[in-house]
Amino acid sequence: MIRHIIKLIWNRKKSMSLLLIEIFLSFIVAFVVCDILISGMLNYFRPVGFDYKNLWDVRLEATKGESLGKMGAEDAAKYRLLISEIKSFPEVKEADFIIGNIPYGNMRFNNSFDYNGTSIYSGVSYVGDDYFKTMQMTLVEGRWFGPEDNAAVNEPIVIDETLKKRIFGDNRAIGEDIQDLTDSEQNQNGKKYNIIGVISTFRPRGELNEPEGELFMRQLWDDSSSIPYAAMVRVNEGTSVSFELQLQRRLSSLAPDINFRITPLSEARDFRLRDMAIAILTPMIIAVFLLFNVVLGLFGIFWQSISRRRGEIGLRRAMGADSRLIPFQIWGETIALGTLAILAGIPIVVNLAVLGVSKPIGSGIFFLSLVSAGGLIYLILTVCAIYPSLLAARIQPAEALHNE
Amino acid sequence: MLRNYFKIALKGLLRQKYYTFISLFGIIITLSVLTVSVALMNHATSMGKSGSRLDRCMIVNRIEARFKKGHIISYPSYYVLDQYVRNLKGPEAISIFSEAHEAVIYSENKRIPLKIKYTDDVFWDIAEFPFLEGMSFKKEAVDRAEMVAVITDRAGQNIFGTKPALGEYLETSKGTYRIIGIIPFREIRAIFLNADIFVPLTTSLGAMNSKELWGDEFALMQAADKSQFAPIKNEFQSHMEQLIKDHKDALQITSLDCFIGTMSESFMTEAGQSEIVTFLGIIGMMILFMLLPAVNLTTVNISRIMERFPEIGIRKAFGASSSTLMGQFIIENVILTLIGGLIAYILSWIALLLINASGVVPWGYIELDMKVFFYSMIVTVFFGIFSGVLPSYRMSRLHPAEALKGISR
């Protein structure tokens, strides 16, 4: 049967070739759609590693000091006063400064490290001891920073699960050392960091982004720290706008040379999700229209080709073919055509993955997208073939042959 | 003759309603998406209407420095722009202004997040925004750091509702500004000029005193005409070399790259800055996007022709030449695509109205201008010819007898 169907397609290869190209292109579009949609959905339902509710981003825009320099005693005292002032409000549960990847912020802080000769690329944030409680993160292994780290020889760091998996796989990460790459290039004994804890995957860019790996370094917010970018502030449930104004005024009066910008994280999250949703939905809508257009086109073509093949089908029926089997034959032909197109499309799709446009081949998402894109094409072909093939089944052999 | 073709084409199109519908549908969505994309791109890559002073402006909006240890990409600071850009001889006018910062206005227990921009007085001369009410701040106001502000009409509505905004006071965390002018927000075209509130640069506390190279500021340089761009760029480079020389010892700069160019050049470098692969991906998607409806249109056209075998056979039998038939079919196809193009243009117009109303593009007002229309029409005609050539070639080679019989492989 299959050989017979392939032979039928081969005999009409001229008219089939364009159809083949069309299904091939549709398959690629379907793959891209599935890829974006599936990875978007999976990311959205995965935890981000912190609780955005009742969390405020208090951005500090200071009159800038020395570039990449240290705070110095005067600034350190000022910032320590600021954070203790924030914490003294009864509405505030917990607060800490941060330099680096502020949740739902636009800035992105990355650095390269070195572990046993392999370089590791990761997001980096400099935070204090209270950051863990402020963000309500979850610990997987080891512990968060504490006063016991004050005397540490190698600077302590905490990494997230994604980064841990990337570097160590299933091996133990606690107690291992990594090196600063910029240092190790210059002299062999670069600065060492000791991993003391692993937290669950942390995605500061929010729900629609891939886990990228995050690394936290400890800051004491003293003379040797840099100037913080923001304070993350966890407030009590139901804290109102009037407190925001109150906080803003209090901080401005304490440090008039700093511009304070307070944004509830839920608001920043809405903005970010909306932006991302537009970036995802626009190509989706366009692709759906494209595929719909293809469905209409294929339907017309199948319909017309059935009416052109009345003679052939009539002959088949006259030779004793079961009228119930005719639709299956037509359907089989379309599916065989679709399979050929998909087989041709797979190398392209694999190339997309190799180039990094879609998810890597090994990941489940690639496989899932491939299968669902194939499924979608078969579904489209089936839908387009149903009505014309039912028409074909109704062809009366005598009538068809008479017309011939 | 052409009128005859036109009549035949319309009759044929009306007779084969299903195929006409599919063809039109494909043409319309492709062209609508293209037109809207072109309009958006056009909006994002141009600073002002052609012929305006903004149209012959270049911007400095990115500074990239490498040190012995580390690498920084940022907006330039006021210090860099003031010391090394403001004294350029080439440009006719130079304006320095900050990026739009978030500024929250608290009004009756409601927080209104808006964007505030710190500008100098030259900004208003170059931008040439029409004023609905009041006027811009002048050089004296900037020198004296007067607390005055120009706001957009949209910001005025957000804060004051229907009450008149002119002369009112704005409470920001930086102080209280008096509103002295109102401009229509939809006249702001470039993303760099975008803000809700414009105040004198001198009222910004940090920017003026910092001696850092990176900050939050841009420079806008108006040239006499576009041919002056190249000499200005050369002069600019020599100033940047001076900048490296001045800071080599203190900051250990090894190389410094400061972007200067037009809006569209800036747009391209921004895109190139992110992964090149993503860029290729977008181009690939665009090609795919064009190709899929084109192939669909071609296959539909082939089917459409096959429906008309008897007609073609008769015309051939009566002596119509292959090229006549081919020409006829292509004209028919172009007519179809032109109709589609027209509908697509109206649809894109509606789509842009919706986009403008939804506030997805936070600044300015996207318009369909004649340039966009011209481009989409070129695409339309190309589309029509492209999808008509193969089917009509195939058809024109038919033998009349075969065509009359209605058999084809």
Any chain A CB within 8 A of the CB of B113?
yes
Instruction: Provide the b/e sequence for B153-170 (b: ≥16 CB within 10 Å).
Output: bbbbebbbeeeebeeeeb
Count of Cβ atoms closer than 10 Å to residue A369 Cβ: 25
Exposed / middle / buried, residue B404 (Cβ in 10 Å: 0-12, 13-18, 19+) = middle
Q: Is the CB of residue B289 less than 8 Å away from at least one CB of chain A?
A: yes
Contacting B residues, span 299-358, partner chain A, CB-CB under 8 Å: 299-300, 302-303, 306-307
For A300, the closest of B19, B106, B291 (CB atoms) is B19
- The yes-or-no verdict on residue B71 having pLDDT over 80 is no
Q: What's residue B76's pLDDT?
A: 87
Q: Which residues of B are less than 8 Å from A351 in CB distance?
A: none
Q: Which residue of B has its CA nearest to A262?
A: B104
- Does residue B73 belong to the interface with chain A, where contact is any CB pair within 8 Å? no
Among the listed residues B132, B151, B125, B144, the one whose alpha carbon sits nearest the alpha carbon of residue B201: B144
Per-residue pLDDT band for A182 (boundaries 50, 70, 90) equals low
Give, for A313, the enclosing helix (H) or strand (E): helix A310-318
DSSP per-residue string spanning A249-292: HHHHHH-TTEEEEEEEHHHHHHHHHHHHHHHHHHHHHHHHHHHH
pLDDT digits (tens, 9 = 90+) for B342-397: 898 899 889 888 888 877 777 777 877 667 777 777 877 787 787 778 777 777 77
A62 CA to chain B: closest CA distance, Å? 7
Ranges A210-219, B90-99, B249-258: which has the least confidence:
B249-258
Q: Would the CB atoms of B26 and A22 count as touching at under 8 Å?
A: no
State mean pLDDT over A294-315.
83
Q: Which of A73-82, A391-400, B375-384 has the highest mean pLDDT?
A: A73-82
Q: Do B409 and A12 touch (CB under 8 A)?
A: yes
- Does residue A257 sit at the B interface (CB-CB below 8 Å)? yes
pLDDT bin (cut points 50, 70, 90) of residue B207 is low
Is-above-0.95 flag for pTM?
no
> pLDDT digit string (tens) for A360-369?
777 788 889 9
Most confident of A101-110, A148-157, B36-45, B320-329: A148-157
Rounded distance between C-alpha atoms, residue A43 and residue A205, angstroms: 11
**B281 to chain A, closest Cα gap in Å:** 6
Q: Quickly state the pLDDT bin for A307 (edges 50, 70, 90).
A: confident
Query: Does residue A242 sit at the B interface (CB-CB below 8 Å)?
Result: yes
pLDDT confidence of B2, banded at 50, 70, 90?
Answer: confident
**Segment A113-169, tens digit of pLDDT:** 888 878 888 888 999 999 999 999 999 989 999 998 888 888 899 999 999 998 888
- Set of chain B residues whose Cβ sits within 8 Å of the Cβ of A301: 299-300, 303
Q: How many other C-beta atoms can be found within 10 angstroms of the C-beta atom of residue A124?
A: 18
Check residues B125 and B384 and name the one with the higher pLDDT: B125
pLDDT digits (tens, 9 = 90+) for A279-302: 788 888 888 888 888 898 888 888
> In chain B, which residues have their Cβ closer than 8 Å to the Cβ of A352?
281
Give me the long-range contacts of B273-281 (CB less than 8 A, separation at least 24): B275/A356, B277/A355, B277/A356, B277/A357, B278/A357, B280/A355, B280/A357, B281/A352, B281/A355, B281/A357
Between B309-317 and B322-358, two packed helices, what is the crossing angle to 10 degrees? 140
Q: How much is the pLDDT for A63?
A: 59
Provide the token pair at B361. 């593009």
Q: What pLDDT, on a 0 to 100 scale, did the predictor assign at position A275?
A: 80
Q: What is the ipTM of this complex?
A: 0.70
The most confident of the ranges A106-115, A205-214, A302-311, A393-402 is A205-214
Inter-chain touch B101–A357, beta carbons under 8 Å: no
Mutate to test the interface with A, among B213, B303, B389 (most CBs of A within 10 A): B303
Residue of A nearest to B300 (CA): A297
The per-residue pLDDT for A181 is: 65
d(C-alpha B265, C-alpha B46), whole Å: 10
A286 neighbourhood in chain B, CB within 8 Å: 29, 33, 289
- Test B210 with A64 for CB contact under 8 angstroms: yes
**CA B119 from centre of chain:** 24
Handedness of CA B89, B90, B94, B100 (dihedral sign): negative
> In degrees, to the nearest 5, what angle opens at C-alpha A98 toward C-alphas A96 and A101?
135
State the helix-helix crossing angle for A310-318 and A325-355, rounded to 10 degrees.
Answer: 130
Q: Which residues pair with A177 in a beta bridge?
A: A194
The set of residues, in sequence order, having a beta carbon less than 8 Å from that of B38 and lying 6+ positions away, is B372, B375, B376
Q: Within 10 Å of residue B310's Cβ, how many Cβ atoms?
A: 12
> How far is Cα B194 from Cα B364, in angstroms, rounded to an integer?
8
Residue contact B303–A304, C-beta within 8 A: yes
pLDDT of residue B70: 66
Residues B358-380 as b or e (16 or more Cβ within 10 Å = b): eeebebbebebeeebbeebbebb
Residue B157 pLDDT more than 80? yes
Judged by DSSP in three states, B68 sits in coil
Q: What is the pLDDT of residue A231?
A: 92
What is the distance between the alpha carbons of residues B107 and B159, in angstroms, rounded to a whole number? 7
Chain A and chain B share a number of CB contacts under 8 A equal to: 130
Determine the 3-state secondary structure of B101 from DSSP: strand
Q: Which of B213, B277, B360 minimises the CB distance to A355?
A: B277
Q: What is the DSSP letter of B308?
A: T
Assess B169–A contact: CB distance below 8 Å, yes or no: no
Contacts of A397 (CB under 8 A, 6+ apart): A314, A315, A317, A318
Say if CB A91 and CB A242 are below 8 A apart. no
- Cα–Cα distances (Å) from B144 to B120, B147, B201, B352, B392, in that order, read 12, 9, 11, 43, 75
- Are B70 and A68 within 8 A, CB to CB? yes
Question: Region B64-70: what's the mean pLDDT?
Answer: 74
Most confident of A33-42, A394-403, B258-267: A33-42
CA atoms within 13 A on the CB side of A68: 9
- Most confident among A183-192, B20-29, B378-387 (mean pLDDT): B20-29
